[in-house]
Structure 1
């Protein structure tokens, strides 16, 4: 099975539950094949948790869900050492982070200390508890959901953690016809109950290696670098995209090309990924924000002004 076939069967499976979100599912698969993480941000009730569960059920890997709340502790995420009275020894009880797909639900409702407990796992694919390091089973993907910052009872994610999410995606409200289909489909039964795995984690690992072989022309490599460089030089940007972001854009472009059935990247792959991949990585000055401009608008402006190469 190649990447394009993988995309087709997984998208068809998820479409049984999610209506009209094919573009969002494609971005989720991009992150999965790049061994990256995704932050789903939108208002409550839009289907963020359902989408994450549908992806997890479409694969045969281990899955865990954490409901983030203000009283959640870091040990509730990573696990704890406890004293076993039978063996009279301390033993490690793994937390939910020891899964291949982790749903961090409403991550911005937890305190910054608890949010940061995911940092090591997301970047290093390991967890350290009481000085002992434990490796996570690959592939490991965090799908976090969060409500917009302006809602009450939330804690903004720190910049270091935001940068570790490859993509930030907003689902958006469904159209009238899509919402009608949601009512008909979910009002009569639970489509999630009949969702079965259609791919294995071993296949995902193989496809991740396939993605690394997708060709990126020298002109496109220069284009990616120029887009990222402009985020650091733009007058409205206080903090630009890091080298981690440029690497993420490079690898995500490879994955998107593979999912669309091509062994090479074209400029539209890079352009399609600029907004979901770069917006959460830049920070604009307060004066610019007061004028009503947003990071997404700045990213769109940069993507439009950088000369697009002609790839033969």
Structure 2
């Protein structure tokens, strides 16, 4: 049986907002201070200004645009962004695709930041957020045209329960759009920490075959599925080089993921790069439709 504690708010908060858990300032306070130090008003921000903390997954906004294209999203559709983090994908779907997005995340600090960033960018009406467990939301059934999830299922120990909840929330014929990390063919343990886990108990990777089988068993029919590992690796290599350069003293810069993950972030990025290169993990992007 899955260990429920692996997805508890306290466990994930310790990983994603360790500074606050250790008695420091909240994530939102730290990020707002960093924007001020860089000469920007934290209550009036543009999407380019927040890009460094906006989408905490491989490929950033480009990967999200590609996934939206795979899912053929159209204006006016209601999208549930599961594991939304700081809300970047929800804001992108609202601004660029005309969708009404609701982001859900179990980490309260991320929801607080997501709501603030949507207010600061003028997107609070079209991108809303809820702190909840993805397997047990308080939302009404059959209310969403699509479920969107990027780099979040590997944090969820009971994927079957999550997929059952998605079936409940989707309208007939609704879609599931996934950009996900799965295990590769290399059976060696992945190097840790990585952005989604500091220890093996919090990482719930499965193979591509198991990933596809779970979706099929839950009643979702594949419409498209791509292995985007090569693109993700190139993106991670580029950012690893940039992060190494940023270790040098510099003037205050716009906040990036290191402000969220702390000193571990450089190691997380290197480990993720090396895991991808060694085929310990792969990245998939695809669209499934509710049968």
Both proteins in one fold, TM over 0.5: no
TM-score by length of 1: 0.30
